[in-house]
Amino acid sequence: AIRRAKIDLANEIPEEPPNNVTDTLSVVFKMPTGERIERRFFKTHTLKDIYNFIFCHPSSPDSFEIATNFPKRTLQCEEEGEKTLVEAGLGGREVLFVYDLDA
């Protein structure tokens, strides 16, 4: 069921903005495996977009949360999924940590 959900959601992930476009933010996701994934998003993309991007990534745990490090706070991707990245307090260059909730 989770594999099917990942396939369905993969189609909803917005395309990565090109390098030369402004109004974007660059995110480095630190995965539980230690892997680092870099990706650009438009500032108007939503928390749901970054959640789906991680959820569909091959090294993603099935159940996880995404958090900032400083100040440490968990992004409420499900409850506030429609918030844009700017509304969620993200901007410029971010390092976000993905925590495996089943670990």
Domain count, the chain: 1
Q: What SS3 class is residue 56?
A: coil
Instruction: Please name the helix (run of DSSP H) or strand (run of DSSP E) that holds residue 47, with its range, or none.
Output: helix 47-55
| CATH assignment of the domain containing 92 | 3.10.20.90
Q: Which of 2-6, 70-74, 79-83 has the highest mean pLDDT?
A: 79-83
Reported for 33-37, long-range contacts at CB under 8 A and 24+ positions apart, including other chains, are 33/59, 35/59
For residue range 24-37, what is the model confidence (pLDDT) as tens digits?
A: 999 999 999 999 99
Span 5-10, average pLDDT? 86
Query: How many angstroms separate the CA atoms of 58 and 73, rounded?
Result: 25
Is the model more confident about 78 or about 49? 49
What is the extent of the structural domain holding 37?
Answer: 2-100
CB neighbours (10 Å) of residue 68? 16
